[in-house]
Amino acid sequence: MFKRDLDLERKWGKLLLELEETIGKKPKDLNGVLFLIGVQELGKGSKHFSKEEKQDLMHIAICKVLSYAGYYELEYVDQDGWPHWNLKQELPHFDLLEQEKLLKIQVLEYFEKEYELQID
């Protein structure tokens, strides 16, 4: 494993601990963190979401975090408060491991920019 991969995993572990302290429960994985971001970005608080809404929340989160790298931009927010995103640039063709790394890097950037969380 490369040093940068180890550094990413160290930072990721610190983020999970920070989230556990903040919300009282440690997210299990990347999907759990993305779900939290989606709920936060929707701004309607914690409630019961249908399976389809959960998928939509994950999409919101992925678009939001990838917007920092220039892949998406917010197009509009509909009358129900759901954000809709526009793809600005094609995503690179990565295998699953590389996709996960990209998302983790962008999630870390999200928390650094949105919450001024320094994870070093």
What is the tens place of the pLDDT at every residue in 36-53? Answer: 999 999 999 888 999 999
Least confident of 58-62, 97-101, 114-118: 114-118
What is residue 29's DSSP assignment?
S
pLDDT digits (tens, 9 = 90+) for 85-109: 999 999 999 999 999 999 999 999 9
Q: What single letter denotes the amino acid at residue 82?
A: W
Q: What single letter denotes the amino acid at residue 44?
A: K
% of the chain surpassing 70 pLDDT? 99
Q: How far apart are CA 113 and CA 44, in angstroms?
A: 21
Higher pLDDT, 2 or 16: 16
Q: pTM score, two decimals?
A: 0.94
Q: How far apart are CA 71 and CA 65, in angstroms?
A: 9
Task: Locate the domains of the chain by residue range.
Answer: 3-115
pLDDT given at position 52: 96
95 in the Ramachandran plot: left (φ > 0), alpha (ψ -120 to 50) or beta?
beta
pLDDT given at position 86: 98
Q: Name the phi and psi angles at 71, rounded to 5.
A: -80, -35
